[in-house]
Structure 1
Amino acid sequence: MKHFAAGAMLALFALGLPAQGLAGDVDPASVPEIKRSKLQLYLTPQDAYEIMRKDAAHTLFLDVRTRAEAMYVGMPTMADGLVPYVEHQELMTDWDERRHMYQLMANSDFLPEAESRLKAKGLTKADRVILICRSGDRSARAADLLANAGYTQVYSITDGFEGDAAKDGPQAGQRIVNGWKNAGLPWTYKLEKQKMYFPR
């Protein structure tokens, strides 16, 4: 039995995939508090890209940003769907002083929509789920929500789609440090209707 387990691990490494339950090459201790999730499973954008390139059939990859973000900023082409963790109010009348933007509200459709996408792909709550947001904090909160609902392998992309903002220099405040887009991974402005979220 030990030989079988060792052989299975070697096969996973030969494919270039993290073993089920391993967190890729992101050290959980290096993840900022705001980006930490209960399961402590993290991926870089490059890790997620390689998993989807080699094992998309056994992985659900969800973009958890708002519809406006996907529409105006673009979306990873490999994502299976857009399932917003939070959304803007329909009329956007309330302001978030802390974040300097219109108020976001919890999306009550998040859990049923995620489960619907999971089942449509023939997967279960024990299969790998990858989440991406703008910079890694909302995907961590969404991962916690899924974990509380019984999902066991929810990975958060710590750098997100746009990445972190530069702290100094001429581009201070701009999201140029890391992330899916800055890594040159495939993304598009041309959205596919079947991947998009529509309120229930």
Structure 2
Amino acid sequence: MSDVPEVSPADTWQALNEDPRAMLIDVRTDAEWTYVGMPDLSATGKPVVPIAWQLFPSMAVNPGFVEALRAAGLTPDHRLYFLCRSGARSLASARAARAAGFPQVFNIRDGFEGPVDGLSHRRTVSGWIASGLPWRQR
């Protein structure tokens, strides 16, 4: 069990629709946003907040991550839902945000694409896409 609450993509979608303080932070890389796609939150009236936890191509942790959260207008009053490909980077970024003074952080279970299936394909088992939630190619 993690020290950061894990929530399903469906529960995240519900929070984004019902809670004005809920925001989705996509911590994948710019390459992933461009070539894999992004959640489409247009129905919620909210933007996806894209802030890479790791910088492509080196994959070094983004030293400006916390500052970027603040620059995006996020405050400790927001409820921050962190998303990556499968749930690991989002957990690390949620922990960093909490340590920086954002107390209401959540890790989206299985991320955008979810784990691999028996054929080593993503998007079929669980995660944002497999849950049938809106997404788009950038």
Secondary structure in 1 aligned to 2:12?
Answer: helix
- The whole-number CA distance in structure 1 between the counterparts of 2:75 and 2:82 is 16
- What one-letter code is carried by the residue in structure 2 that aligns with 1:181? I
The reply on whether 1:185 has 2:133 as its aligned counterpart is yes
Residue 83 (structure 1) aligns with: 51
Q: Which residue number corresponds to residue 25 of structure 1?
A: none
Alignment match, 1:54: 18
Q: Distance in 2 between matches of 1:178 and 1:43?
A: 12
Cα offset for 1:157? 0.2
- SS of 2:63 mapped into structure 1: coil
Match 2:107 to one of 141, 147, 156: 156
Runs of 4+ in 1 over 3 A off after TM superposition: none
Percentage of pairs with the same residue: 33
Alignment of 1:1-200 (within 5 A): 29=1, 36=2, 38=3, 40-55=4-19, 57-78=20-41, 79-89=47-57, 103-117=58-72, 119=73, 124-166=75-117, 168=118, 171=119, 173-175=120-122, 176-190=124-138
Mind listing any 5+ residue stretches in structure 2 that lack a counterpart?
A: 42-46
Deviations 1:169-192 (A, max 9, x none): xx2x211210001111000113xx
Amino acid at match of 1:115: R
1:28-49 superposed Cα distances (whole Å, 9 cap, x missing partner): x4xxxxxx3x3x2111000001
Q: What is the CA distance between 1:126 and its match in structure 2?
A: 3.4
Amino acid at match of 1:107: N
Q: With structure 1 as the length reference, what TM-score do the two structures score? A: 0.62
Instruction: With a CA cutoff of 8 Å and minimum separation of 6, indicate the structure with the bigger relative contact order.
Output: 2
Instruction: State the partner residue of 1:98.
Output: none
- Whether the aligned pair in 1 keeps the contact of 2:39 and 2:48 (CA below 8 Å) is no
